[in-house]
Amino acid sequence: MQIIINHLTRMQKGFMCAAGVDPVTRRHIRPVLASQMRVDMLARHGGPFEIGCRVDLGETKFVGKVPEIEDRQFEASAAKPLDRVPADEFWQLLTELAADSLTDIFGRDLQPVGAASCGVLEFHGLRSLGCYWAHRPSLHLQTTADHPRIRFGFDEDSRRYQVPVTDIRIYADDHVTPDAAVVDRLSRTLENQTRVLVSVGLSRAYKRTDQHPAVHWLQINNIYLPPK
């Protein structure tokens, strides 16, 4: 199976997640291993995965469940980078996939949660990956007790969202610390945009507290600007 990588995200320290589009079916595919994928799989560390690259995963096995219907297990040793898709062609693919509504991507089970987030209850929803036109975008670092976090703001249906950003390209080499300079440059660029194309995903289900149900939370996986 071949995919074109358009989701590349940081996870816990030392780990990552990748996903892409099957160029034949135009469906998203998330390659997964029997264990979590380490950052060794990034192209910069000698692995096959990089944004805009075509990767041959070898044989895959469907292991998904709602809403994570994109999951396909593969063998790390079988994955091979093939080529880089030309920038204009890659941008065209993203725009053809992009939706104007989160509901069009994730289904009507997607509901607001709290003041500025949204998500899908465990075992609900249509899918967990997509491309989306985010309106009135903004980007900022949020100061927290442990470390700064990157947040992306956008408007939909008279509601302002502020959700996490996991785009591995805007983190430092440890893939954990936000790269403040990159975040600042991108933030200033977004100030002049009425909308921006992003890859979006739902997190693995987790509970905020034992009193809350498990939720797949919305996150911004990657932020894209048109090729120059």
pLDDT tens per residue across span 117-168: 999 999 999 999 999 999 999 999 988 777 889 999 999 999 999 999 999 9
- State whether 152 and 204 are in the same domain: yes
- Computed over every residue of the chain, the mean pLDDT equals 95
> Which of 39, 56, 90 is the C-terminal boundary of a domain?
90
- State whether 211 and 148 are in the same domain: yes
Query: Do you know the residue count of the chain?
Result: 228
**What pLDDT, on the 0 to 100 scale, is given for residue 152?**
98
**What pLDDT, on the 0 to 100 scale, is given for residue 143?**
81
- State whether 81 and 106 are in the same domain: no
Rounded CA Rg of the chain:
17
Beta bridge partners of 32: 73
Determine the Cα angle at 106 with ends 72 and 217, to 5°.
85
- State whether 148 and 83 are in the same domain: no
Of the candidates 33, 28, 36, the one whose C-alpha atom is nearest the C-alpha of residue 11 is: 36
Say yes or no to pLDDT of 196 above 80. Answer: yes
Determine the Cα angle at 163 with ends 162 and 164, to 5°.
140
**What pLDDT, on the 0 to 100 scale, is given for residue 169?**
96
Query: Worst-scoring range by mean pLDDT, 50-54, 146-150, 189-193?
Result: 146-150
**What pLDDT, on the 0 to 100 scale, is given for residue 212?**
86
- State whether 121 and 215 are in the same domain: yes
- State whether 111 and 202 are in the same domain: yes
Query: For residue 62, which phi and psi values (nearest 5 degrees)?
Result: -65, 125
| Entry pTM | 0.95
**What pLDDT, on the 0 to 100 scale, is given for residue 209?**
83
Sequence-separated (6 or more) residues with CB below 8 Å from residue 42: 8, 16, 49, 50, 168
**What pLDDT, on the 0 to 100 scale, is given for residue 3?**
98
Confidence of residue 31 (pLDDT cuts 50, 70, 90): very high
- Contact (Cβ atoms closer than 8 angstroms) between residue 106 and residue 68: no
- State whether 60 and 151 are in the same domain: no
Sequence-separated (6 or more) residues with CB below 8 Å from residue 165: 139, 150, 151, 152, 219, 220, 223
CATH code (residue 111) = 2.40.50
Neighbours of 88 (CB within 10 A): 10
- Contact (Cβ atoms closer than 8 angstroms) between residue 102 and residue 156: yes
Which helix H or strand E contains 193, and what residues bound it? none
Q: Within 13 Å, how many C-alpha atoms sit on residue 38's CB side?
A: 5
Structural domain boundaries enclosing 34: 2-90
Confidence of residue 228 (pLDDT cuts 50, 70, 90): confident
Stretch 187-205: mean pLDDT:
96
Q: Within 13 Å, how many C-alpha atoms sit on residue 194's CB side?
A: 1
Q: How many domains does the chain have?
A: 2
Q: What is the pLDDT of residues 75-134, one digit of tens each?
A: 999 999 999 999 999 999 999 999 999 999 999 999 999 889 999 999 999 999 999 999
* Interatomic CA distance for residues 145 and 31, integer angstroms: 34
**What pLDDT, on the 0 to 100 scale, is given for residue 13?**
87
* pLDDT cut 90: percent of the chain above it: 89
Neighbours of 34 (CB within 10 A): 9
